[in-house]
Structure 1
Amino acid sequence: MSLALAIPLGVAASAVYGTSIVVQHRTAQQNADAGGETSPSSLLRLARNPLWLIAVVSDFAGFLLQAAALSAGSVVVVQPLVVLMLPVALGVSFLTGGHRPRLGDYLGVLAVLGGLGVFLALVGRPGEPHVPHSRTIAMAVGLVLVIGLVACVVVIGRNRIVRGAVYGGVAGAYFGALAVMVDAASDEVGQHGFKSLVTHARGYVPVICLAVLGVAGILLTTMSFQIGALGATLPANLAADPVMGVVLGAVLLREHIPLSAGHLVAYVLCLAAVVAGAVRLADPHAGPIGPDGPAVAPSG
Structure 2
Amino acid sequence: MLVAIPAALAAGLCFALAGVLQQRSASARPADEFLSFRLLLDLARKPLWVSGIALAVLAYGCQGLALAYAPLTLVQPLIVSELLFAIPLSALVLRMRLRRREWCGVLAVSTGLVTALAAARPRPAEAVADPGAWLVMLAGVGAATALALVAGRHAGGTAKASLIALAAGLVMGTQSVLLAATVERFDGGAAAVFTAWQTYLLVGASIGGLLLIQSAFQAGPLAASMPVMDAVEPAVAIAAGVTLFGESVRTGWPAGGVALAGLLLLFAGIVLLDTSPLLKALYRRETADRAPEEAGRAAGGTAEGGNAGGNGPGEGRRRGRG
TM, length-normalised to structure 2: 0.71
Moved more, 252-261 or 143-152: 143-152
Quick one: which amino acid aligns to residue 252 of structure 1? L
C-alpha distance in 1 between matches for 2:64 and 2:132: 21
Please, which of 9, 30, 33 is the counterpart of residue 32 of structure 1?
30
SS in 2 for 1:292: helix
Instruction: Output the amino acid matched with 1:175.
Output: M
Structure with more of its chain in helix, by fraction: 2
Matched residues in 1 for 2:97 and 2:237: separation? 33
1:211 aligned residue (203, 224, 230): 203
Residues 1-300 of structure 1 mapped to structure 2, 5 A cutoff: 9-33=7-31, 42-66=39-63, 83-93=80-90, 96=93, 98-124=95-121, 126-130=122-126, 132-133=128-129, 135=131, 139=135, 142-143=138-139, 146-152=142-148, 154-155=150-151, 157-161=153-157, 162-189=159-186, 192=187, 196=188, 198-201=190-193, 205-228=197-220, 232-260=224-252, 262-280=254-272, 285-286=277-278, 291-293=282-284, 294=287, 295-298=290-293, 299=296
Q: CA deviation at 1:111?
A: 1.9
SS at the partner of 1:155?
helix
Cα offset, 1:106, TM superposition: 3.3
Closer, same or farther: CA 62–53 of 1 in aligned 2, 3 Å: same
Offset, 1:6: 6.4
Does the Cα contact within 8 Å between 1:174 and 1:217 map onto a contact in 2?
yes
CA contact (8 A) 1:28 1:46 kept: yes
Contact between 2:119 and 2:256, CA under 8 Å: does it hold in 1?
no
Q: CA contact under 8 A between 2:134 and 2:244: conserved in structure 1?
A: no
Structure 1 position 278, deviation (Å) = 4.0
**Aligned-pair identity (%):** 23
Distance 1:118 1:150, change over 3 A: closer
In 2, Cα distance between equivalents of 1:244 and 1:76: 16
**How far does the alpha carbon of each residue in 1:186-228 deviate from its partner, in whole angstroms, 9 at most, with x for none?**
4555xx3xxx362225995544333222211110111122222
CA drift at 1:87: 0.9
Retained in 2: the 8 A contact 1:119–1:267?
A: yes
How many residues were matched structurally? 290
Deviating more after overlay: 137-146 vs 166-175: 137-146
- In 2, the alpha carbon distance for the partners of 1:71 and 1:205 equals 28
Uncovered stretches (5+) of structure 2, i.e. residues with no partner: 298-322
- Structure ID, larger Rg: 2
Distance 1:160 1:77, change over 3 A: farther
Question: 1:244 Cα deviation (Å)?
Answer: 0.7
Q: Which amino acid aligns with 2:19?
A: I
Once residues 141 and 112 of structure 1 are traced to their aligned partners in structure 2, the CA distance between those partners, rounded to angstroms, is 26
Cα gap change, 1:51 to 1:40, in 2 (>3 Å):
same
Bigger relative CO (Cα 8 Å, ≥ 6 apart): 1
Native 8 Å contact 2:216 2:225 kept in 1? yes
Write the deviation string for residues 122-153 of structure 1: whole angstroms up to 9, x where unpaired. Answer: 234x4444362474685366425532553255
Once structures 1 and 2 are overlaid, which stretch shifts more, 37-46 or 241-250?
A: 37-46
